[in-house]
Structures are given as structure tokens and as C-alpha cells.
Structure 1
Amino acid sequence: MSAKSPHRLIAILASSLLPAVLLALCLGTELSSLNDAFVALLGQAENIEQQIIRDIRLPRVILALLVGACLAVCGTASQGLFRNPLADPSLIGVSAGAAMGASLCIVFFYVLFAEVASVAVIAVAAFLGGMLASVLVYRLANNENGTSVAMMLLAGIAVTAFAAAVSSFSEFASSNAQLRRISLWQMGSLAGSSAEQRMGLALVLVLLLVVLQRQAMKLNALLLGESEARHLGVNVQRLKIHVIIAIAAGVGLAVATSGTIGFVGLLVPHIMRLIIGPDHRYLLLASALGGALLLLMADTLARTLFAPSELPVGVITAIMGAPFFLALLRIKRNQLL
């Protein structure tokens, strides 16, 4: 791989954002031309056209970019922390834990906090649920010899099952309105976000990139093994804590705004790593751009395949990601036995 390859890939991904955004703005139940999209963005279109493009599609496009980037960055950090391409927030229970926290908050605390920044309270609950799941999986998978990948996956299955059971209990105890909201989270939806949610997610994404980019060289050292990283001067325990908090924060807020969307954090980092290698200095940014593009394309398909009906975007990402995960398991099966 040449030294310019990571920069070339990042430039290609960044330059692909604008065409993908314009395509997403034009496609939908009502097709629009590029000229209509530009005019609507400038606020010079007819009221109906402007409302469709600027007030309905554009917020959804922005949310897809932010959530996709956030999930992919968290997936990259998970794989770097566990030193395995199978590590993904949804596979090790973090997404399920975040969904559990959000579900409990909606059912049992939403009435109490409805008048005081309910979105922020639900996001905090999702963060705490994701943090609890990540810490539990890490504790179970970690031993004196390092992190066991097999234990990590088994612990993730157990945590996911427990979180799903708690979420099911929340559904049982919920009202019709609460049940609908929980169901939308479980399937994944990018519709109906507020400006505050998008701004909060954008802020968290920037903080994620800044914090994890500062840890990039340490994550590179961790790839050699925990003992080797310690010999290189890396405080491995502190690094793990920082990365786990970052993953829980990113996944928690993403779940709070868009629901459980699987496989983005698995698919994108692995593909980026195959192209440019494991150097986290480039991998984090490349994964963020790739995740944004992937989820934007998935959401565009979800809106247009069966228009005017709309598929949950989590269904599209699962259809795209499940075959890839099965192929990856086949390749890695000897390591899991």
C-alpha cells in the first residue's frame, strides 16, 4: 500500500458525499430534479417543493450522515480495542444496552421528565445503558492474558439477550404511544428528528473524532498486544476506559435519536481496514465518511424501494450486513474454535 493510499481514499469518500446527498434529496415518493433541489435549498422554491426537500428530506439526510459516521467510528474503536474485526457495538451488546436504557426511560421516567428536556434525558439513559453493557462485556472478556474474543462474543450474546428481555418487559408495561416509540427504535428509523437531536449528535461525533484521533497511535500500539503496548509506554487500562466511554457515548446518542441500526459498525471499518490497513490515524476518518455514505444510501433505498411505503432503515442495513458477517465468520472460523 502506498503512503498516499489513505489520503486518496479519504478524498474519494469526501468527494462522494455531495453527489450522494443530492441524490437522496431528489429521490422519494415525489421525484425532484437537481435544479429543484438547489432552488429549494436556497429557499426559492414553491411552498410544497420547499417543504418536501428542505424541511423533510434534508433533516433526514443530515441525520443519516451523522448516525452512520458515529456508528462506524464506534465500530472502528471497538475493533481496535478488542483487536478483532468481529467486534461491533451491536454484536457485543452495546446497542442493545443503549436501547434498553432508552426503553426504560420512555416507559418509567418519560412522564416525570417530559417537561424538562425529554430528548436529553432519554439520550442520557441510552448512554448509561450502553456504558453498562460495554463495561460488563469488557469485564467478562478480560483476563490476565488479555481480552478473549470468544468470551467477548459469548458475553455480548448474553448481554444482548438480557437487554432484549428488559426491553420486552418495558413494551409489556408501556402505553400504546410508548409502545409505538419503542418499536420504531428497535427497527431503526431516521424520520422525525429534531434540530436539537441533530446538533447534539453532531457535537458528540466531533468529540468522538477528536478524542479517538488523539488515541490513534495508542490504538495502533494495542494491536501488537497489551504487554507490547505497555512496553511502548501506553497506559492500557486508561486507554480502554477512554475508548469504552467514547463508544458508549456515541452509540447511546445514536440509539436515542435513530434506534438500533446494526452492521454499520461492523461492515464499514472492516472494509476500510482491508483497503488502507489498520492505521487508526486514517482508519477513523475513513470509517466516519464510509459509514455516513453507507447509511445515507441505505436510508435512500428504504424510502424509495416500496414508495410510498417506507422500510425501516435497520432492515436494509441488516440485509446488507448479514451476508458479509457470515462470510467473515467463515473466514475466521478456525480462530473461533
Structure 2
Amino acid sequence: MRYVGIESVEPGQFLGKTIYSGNGTVLLSAGVQLTVYMISTLNRIGVTMLYIQDPLYADVETEDILSEATKQGLIQEMSDAFEAVRSGKEWNTQLIGASVDHLLEDVMDNKELLVQLTDVRTADNAQYVHAMNVCLLSTVMGVNMGLNYQQVKELATGALLHDIGKNGMREGDELFPDSKSHHTWRGFEKLKNKREFGLLIAHVALQHHERVDGLGIPRGLTGDEIHLYAKIVAAADAYDRMIHPLKPSGRRLMPHEACEQMMAMSEKQLDHGVLVQFTRMVSIYPNGTAVRLSNKETGLVVRQHRGLPGRPVVRIVRGEAGHLDIKELDLAQETTVFIEAVLA
């Protein structure tokens, strides 16, 4: 598979990864042959990047930590919960807990994989995919930092629900970040009275926009005043928002650019210890990404190295059909060759 911009997709190509709607149902299944109408519709509903199948890279997989069933369940449960909050109804915390359990099972089964956030977003599913990604990133960091199972489950649940306070908001509610109408306070209020959840889960919603330098919101907490769960979720939230901006007009950073920007936030906005763990577990050049190397060759990232996210294996294809020269450069071994640029 190749990871490409929507503007590069042509009719007749085959979709590489399933696209989900906002309620967790399948919008387009992997393997479907794309038509002009499908491509136009994807562009209209906000899709910017997607995977397509390519015979030269048929063996290239995204190595997702989460199964398709887990993703579909998470998106569906988040959609149901958020819709209930919007309409002022009660929502099923047990189903949320079950979805988190499935996510934890997948994470524990795939601990050696780097996190690659490659699920296709639409205007309809963006907030749910964001919640899922923040939950996944936070969970993997928590596991790597040695949290026990109960702690990781609390962290994962808080991460999944960190933005639940945004639902049912009115225009102007966020004009005063220190007011109780801000989504951090609203999320805290919605979660603190859920007996199935511990109070720490509510504090993730309350504190995930705090900064270690004290310039965050809503309470201006500093350093150790911010709970570790909230520090972890803040890093995951910042990263996912950089590679998938909240507003369509926002600049979308590539994963390696986002990681560089996050490291510049160390001990200002984000906790340094959390960032160290983050950089060890996220794939900054996801499989299927086209890159230009420092030796001026171009190729596609096909495999990752755990612990060396900046040194993947790159496949280089030269020549024409019937006379192809294919080689792979393992950048963990080719220490004088570097990725110079990511090609859109």
C-alpha cells in the first residue's frame, strides 16, 4: 500500500484501508475500486490522505496496533456517548469500559509495534478518530512508563473521554477559558458523578490543557500539580491535533515535523519525561510514506524498527514495467543515509 494525498488518487485504483463513518459503520471497505464519484465524495467530506493498493508494495502493511473490530467498536461507542451528551440523555459507561478493555488487549498483544496513526478522517468521524488516537497514544505511553493495569485503564478511559465536554456547547462558551463553560470544566462535571469511573478520569478532562509552565487552562497549574495522566493525554492530544488540525484551514504537519515541534515544547507546554517516552513509541515515517533520501534517491517506507522510529526500511524502485530494479535500504544499517524530505 501507498499513503497518498487525495489529489493524487485516480479512478480505478483500489482503496487500501477501510474508511468509517461517524457512527462506526463502514463507509468504504478496503479493496473497493475507486470511481470518480467516490473520489469526489471523499474530497467533499474532508478526506485529505488515504491508502491505496499498489502491486509494487502489496506486502506493505500499516502494522496497526488496533484491530478493525476494536476501531469500529470504539468509534461507535464514542458516537453514541457523544450524541447522548448532546441531547442531554444518559450514556452507557459499561459499553465505554468494554471498548477500552478491547483496546488494552490489542495494545498488550502488539507492544512491539510503533504507533502509526493512519486511519482516514472525514468531517463526520474526525472527533471520534481523534479520541481513539489520543486513547491509543496515551495507553501505549502508560504501558511503557510502567503503569499497572488498573492505572492504564484509568488513563485510557480518561484519554478516550478527554473532550466529552465539547458536546452540547454553544457558540461563545469558550471565550473565557477560566469559566465553568469551558469544555475542560464541562467534561469534568460530566464525568465526576459517573460512579463507574474514578475521579482521576474526570481530572484528565479538566487538566489536559494545563501546561507545565503554568500558562495553561483552566486553572494555570504547574509541574507536579498536573496529574501524570493529564500530562500524557496533553502530549497525545497535541500530536494528533498537529497531524490532523481541528480546522480545515490549519496547517497539517507530517509526523516527523510534529515530533520536532513537540520537543520544542519540552518543559514549557509538555512534560519532558512524557515526551521522551512519546518519541520512542510513535512512527514518525509511517509505512507507505514516500520519502527522499540524502543520497537523492526516492522510495517508500516499508518497515519500522522498534526504538529507532527515524531509521525505517525504505524500498527504492527504478526502471519501467518489466525491467524494474528493486532494492531496500535499512537506515538502521546505512548510518550515513538520512531521510531528507517526505514527498506528498
Q: TM-score range by the shorter chain?
A: under 0.3
Higher relative contact order (CA 8 A, sep 6+): 1
Higher strand residue share: 2
Higher helix residue share: 1
If the length of structure 2 is used for normalisation, what is the TM-score?
0.28
If the length of structure 1 is used for normalisation, what is the TM-score?
0.28
